[in-house]
Amino acid sequence: MTSAATKPRPRTKPPEERRGELIQAAYRLFLEQGVVPTTIEQITSRADVAKGTFYLYFSSKEDVLEALRDRFEEELLVKVQTAVATKAADDWPGKLTAWARAGVAGYFDLKPLHDVVFLESRPAGTEGLLDNALIDHLLALLQAGADAGAWAIDDARFTAVFLFNGFHGVTDAACAAEKQVNRSRLIDRLEQLCLRTVGLNPR
C-alpha cells in the first residue's frame, strides 16, 4: 500500500556508520536539551532512522552515554599522553607540568562532552575515580618519577588520585567562571601545586 513515490532511501548502512550517527545525534541533543529530557524518539528522528533501529545498536539511553564516556576518556588520554611524551625522558618536573598543561587544555576542549557524560548523567560508581584511564596514566608517571628519584611520594596511587581531583576541581571552577578565564594563570598556579604535591617546592 505504500505509495510508489516513497523515496527509496538506502535501507541499510555499515553498522559502524549507523552507530556513529546515532551517537552523534544523541550527543547533539544532550547538549541542546540535556540528557534526561532527550527521548529515544528524538535521537532516532535526528539520526533519520526508525525508533526500533536504536535498539539494534544500543540497549538503552545509558548505553549511549557509556559510549560517549569512552570517547571522552580516550580523547583526553591521547592528548595527555602525547604532551607528556614530548618531554625529555629525564625531565620529570617537565613531564608533570606538561601533564597538567595538557590536562587543562583537554578539559577546556572537551568541556561540553565532559559535562554531558559526567555531570548530567551518572556513570555508576563513585565519581572522581571514574576517569580511571587518566588516573592510571598519572599514576604511572608519578611512580616512574619516584623510581627515578625525581620526587618523593609515599603512595603513588594516593597521590595520583589527590592530584587528579585537585586538578579537576580547579579546572571545573575555572570553567564555571563564565568569562573566559585567564588560562595561562590557571596553568601557572596548577603547575606550582603539582610540583608541591610531589614535594618539589619551588621558591
Partner DNA sequence: AATGAATGAGCGTTCATTCAT
Partner DNA sequence: CATGAATGAACGCTCATTCAT
Residues that bind DNA (CB under 7 A): 8-13, 15, 18, 37, 39-41, 48-56, 59-61
CA distance 128 to 168: 9
* Nearest approach, Cβ of residue 26 and its own copies (Å): 18
Q: Which of 32, 152, 182, 184 binds its own copies (CB under 8 A)?
A: 152
Q: Which of 119, 136, 182, 184 binds its own copies (CB under 8 A)?
A: 119
Q: Say if residue 110 is exposed, middle or buried (CB neighbours under 10 Å; 0-12, 13-18, 19+).
A: middle
Those residues whose C-beta lies under 8 Å from the C-beta of residue 31, and which sit 6 or more positions away, are: 112, 116
CA distance 137 to 132: 8
CB-based contact 112:31 (threshold 8 Å): yes
Part in contact with its own copies (CB under 8 A); list of ranges 19-27, 48-56, 94-102, 191-199:
191-199
CB-based contact 73:133 (threshold 8 Å): yes
* Nearest approach, Cβ of residue 134 and DNA (Å): 30
Which one, 184 or 189, has the nearer CB to its own copies?
189
Which of its own copies, DNA, none lies near 168, with the C-beta cut-off 5 to 8 A by kind? its own copies
